[in-house]
Structure 1
């Protein structure tokens, strides 16, 4: 496979993620879509690393760092969703616009 194949696949993943963010009303669906976007970005980073610097590991280290941050972001988002569900009995983002400061 060439670099173009990887970049087309990454672009498809990112577009699917953005479409999911726009279409989904559930917070969990939006979180899954965000993870799909992160996977597209990771694929782009690994593909560029493989084809531009075949012996370098900087791209792979960067992807591991992105995966770690994405895991922490997912854990925090799920904790926030759990608290919102306890308070509002829903995870629909349109119905949870009544948050008080």
Structure 2
């Protein structure tokens, strides 16, 4: 049963505010002359979280890159490189991704 006059949150508005506050919903990085992007924390797909929990860095990197993982690895990129980008972002933002 809902309470009268209770605020209703709009998820799209909350996501936009979160992205604005944290510098966007993606982390861009360059490799071999091409720009790639991964989802920023707070915007990670569930598949990335499941893969990380299972210790599957390749699955996590694939999920975070939203379909560009094959292009990235064709240029010589690795799942560990994606994790390096995530760690650099976390360090720069002063956040602990284990939270």
User: By the TM > 0.5 criterion, same fold?
Assistant: no
- TM, length-normalised to structure 2: 0.30
Which structure has the larger Rg?
1
Structure 1 or 2: more helix by fraction? 1
Structure 1 or 2: more strand by fraction? 2
